[in-house]
Structure 1
Amino acid sequence: MQYKTAWEDPATRQAWRRTAMFRCAALLASLVAFPAWLFAVVMTPAWLLVLWLPVLCVGLWYALLAIVAVASLAGTRRVLRVYPWQLDLTEVRSKKNGSTQFVVPNPERPEKSVSLGYGGMIGTGQHFWVRAVKSGKVTAAWFAGDPRYLGVVATPGPRHLVLVAQREATDSRMSPRKRGVSPEARARARAAGARVGGD
């Protein structure tokens, strides 16, 4: 059954809740790790601080990634409430820099495609989308959104939800995309949380 929006699908709502629980648990674990680190520093000889400082830096970086992941949950839900799933139209590729590229047909010119990226930062190498694509386990995906702005990618089911976006759709320092996009498509992208510029 094809739903008007992805969020109307009970399996999508369940996948979002599962994603939310996992990301919140990861954030909680990273926050609990700090008192454990502090306890280890206090209980060990002072010279071991040389070893504990790099551990702190790595822990803080992963805590920051966990905060960003939790913060993206609201944006993910917003996109899913606006767009339906496009099933198995998205091609998935691994790039040399360690990131994953999603190639999606342009909604208004299906003969052309638009690419969105995920990963490529320190600490994202073990994320499902980077590992699974690099190993060849995943070559196609579901997509909800407008690839010219932003969207949510999932493995069929859906599972492993991740929010992806073009930089100009989220970065206020860049001019939002206007060319080649109909007013209706821009209105939907705006409803999903993208920067689309004035009419």
Structure 2
Amino acid sequence: MAPTPDSTAWDDEATRRAWTKLITCAIAGQTLWPAAWVGLLAWYAIMSITWTLWLFFIPMAYTFYRSFLQLAYFTGAFRARRLLQHYPWQVWETPESGIGNIPGVRAGYAWLKFPDPEASDQLVTMVMHSHVRSVWWGGRLGKRAKPERKTQVEELWFAGDPRFAAVIAAPGPRRLYVIHQRPSYNKSLPAEAHGASPQALERARRTGIHVPDPDPAP
């Protein structure tokens, strides 16, 4: 079902189901990854054979890492919900994208370009700074991606403001991912205004983005 531009993305039942799946996976990971780490640690302690440490080191290190990483999954899920509650879905066909190789983007980082909402002739670059849930996207955006994978992101759903933050998704929606400008969630400094109108700034503020205060009236 195509998104309806006159309502917020959250008004769509399929979107709410997709978000429920997102938060459910975060909760499951918060339970299963720590349990896996404790289980491996207990198994090693029971075996008490020094050389077996090498058999457990890599999986123990990975499960320990994922246990702490789960906070980022929760953060991403709740940021996604706030964005979906305030912005409608938009559909973009084959947006310009890639991995690295453009000014201001580090090698290996996936990026996309979207029109500025208040200057449609200008494109705004958004970078996938977080690798949480980005592997699927990164494998389909680069020039080296296989054609059958590229077709999965030829149509892209977008809810947000590229100057600040947005949720992108494969049609459905599926594979929800929060993509944002680095300053948008920096609590110490507000994001740059990027020429946004007071209405756009207020809308972004309601989603939890730290935007500058509007200029005082003369």
TM class by shorter-chain length? 0.7 to 0.9
Cα distance in 1 between the residues matched to 2:98 and 2:55: 34
Q: Select the residue among 129, 134, 140 that pairs with 1:132.
A: 140
Cα distance in 2 between the residues matched to 1:196 and 1:105: 19
Residue correspondence of structure 1 range 42-121 to structure 2 within 5 A: 42-44=45-47, 45-88=49-92, 91=95, 93-96=97-100, 97-118=107-128, 121=131
- Classify 1:26/1:166 alpha carbon distance in 2 versus 1 (closer, same or farther; 3 Å): same
Q: TM-score, normalised by structure 2?
A: 0.80
Q: Identity percentage over the alignment?
A: 28
Q: Select the residue among 195, 198, 204 that pairs with 1:183.
A: 198
Q: Say whether the 8 Å CA contact 2:95–2:113 is kept in structure 1.
A: yes
Residue 38 of structure 1 corresponds to 41
Q: Say whether the 8 Å CA contact 2:94–2:153 is kept in structure 1.
A: no
Q: TM-score, normalised by structure 1?
A: 0.87
Cα distance in 1 between the residues matched to 2:24 and 2:11: 20
Cα distance in 1 between the residues matched to 2:124 and 2:74: 26
Equivalent residue of 1:91, what SS? coil
Q: Work out the number of aligned pairs and report it.
A: 197
User: How big is the shift at 1:67?
Assistant: 2.2
Consecutive unaligned residues in structure 2, runs of 5 or more:
101-106
Q: State which drifts further: 111-120 or 75-84.
A: 111-120
User: How big is the shift at 1:112?
Assistant: 0.7
User: Which has the larger share of strand?
Assistant: 1
CA RMSD of aligned residues (A): 2.3
User: How big is the shift at 1:76?
Assistant: 0.7
Equivalent residue of 1:148, what SS? coil
Post-superposition Cα deviations, 1:46-77, rounded to whole Å, max 9, x if no partner, equal 23224433433222222222221122211111
